[in-house]
Amino acid sequence: MIITIMGKPGSGKTTLAKALAKKLGYKHYSGGDMRGQLAMKHGMTIDELNKVGEKEDWTDKEIDNIVIKIGQTEDNLVFDSWTAWHFIPKSVKIFLDVDLKVAAERIFENQRPDEPHKNSAEEVYEMIKARMEESRARYKKWYNIDFLDLKNYDFVLDTTNLTIEQSVEKVLEFVKSR
């Protein structure tokens, strides 16, 4: 079984995907980590890479080709990514929702090395709102998909008031019911 985890920034995608993969004995992949590595390889932040991606599709295609290959050649994995659900259509598709103010607090407390440092949760909030809209437009342009349309997913979970353990249990319960 392949499980793709998608969600808003700060919803717990990567943390949940790693925990779920561990519980199931599956391999874990992160599209966000792959994009972060690609950005750093080119001496950019993730936001700078995303800006280039508004005009040049290589910033997405390089990672997309890896996702497609993994989806065609491997099984028993959990993939957290904003687009893996699209490129691995046979996957069980999970969407993690979250209140963006809560998400901003989470992200502010655990800032990534491939992102510009923010001095407050309010700055993070503005960054994630902009990133979601820019990515939405980019994916619409390159793939004609809307990654925020909940109809694309088999299961939607709001993680705003849940611990990661509670979120993992709810997703695991859904996956086992399939």
Asked if 84 and 97 touch (Cβ cutoff 8 Å), the reply is: no
- Can you tell me the distance from the alpha carbon of 25 to that of 158, in angstroms, rounded to the nearest whole number? 25
In a domain, 170, yes or no: no
In a domain, 127, yes or no: yes
Per DSSP, the chain holds a count of helices (H) and strands (E) of: 8, 5
pLDDT tens for each residue of the chain, 178 residues long: 999 999 999 999 999 999 999 999 999 999 988 988 899 899 998 888 888 988 898 988 889 999 999 999 999 999 999 899 999 999 999 999 999 999 999 988 877 766 777 889 999 999 999 989 988 998 999 999 999 999 999 999 999 999 999 999 999 999 999 8
Distance of CA 85 to the CA centre of its chain: 10
Buried b (16+ CB within 10 A) or exposed e, 43-62: ebbbeebbeebeeeeebbee
In a domain, 172, yes or no: no
In a domain, 142, yes or no: yes
In a domain, 152, yes or no: yes
Asked if 128 and 104 touch (Cβ cutoff 8 Å), the reply is: yes
- pLDDT of res. 114: 61
In a domain, 174, yes or no: no
3-state helix, strand and coil shares in percent for the chain, rounded to the nearest 5: 55, 15, 30
Query: Of 12, 64, 13, 14, nearest to 38 (Cα)?
Result: 64
- pLDDT of res. 113: 67
Write the DSSP symbol of residue 77: E
Number of folded domains that form the chain: 1
- Can you tell me the distance from the alpha carbon of 2 to that of 59, in angstroms, rounded to the nearest whole number? 24
- pLDDT of res. 47: 80
In a domain, 28, yes or no: yes
- pLDDT of res. 176: 92
- pLDDT of res. 67: 94
Asked if 95 and 157 touch (Cβ cutoff 8 Å), the reply is: yes
- pLDDT of res. 95: 98
- pLDDT of res. 50: 82
CATH number, domain containing residue 89: 3.40.50.300
Domain encompassing residue 155:
2-161
In a domain, 111, yes or no: yes
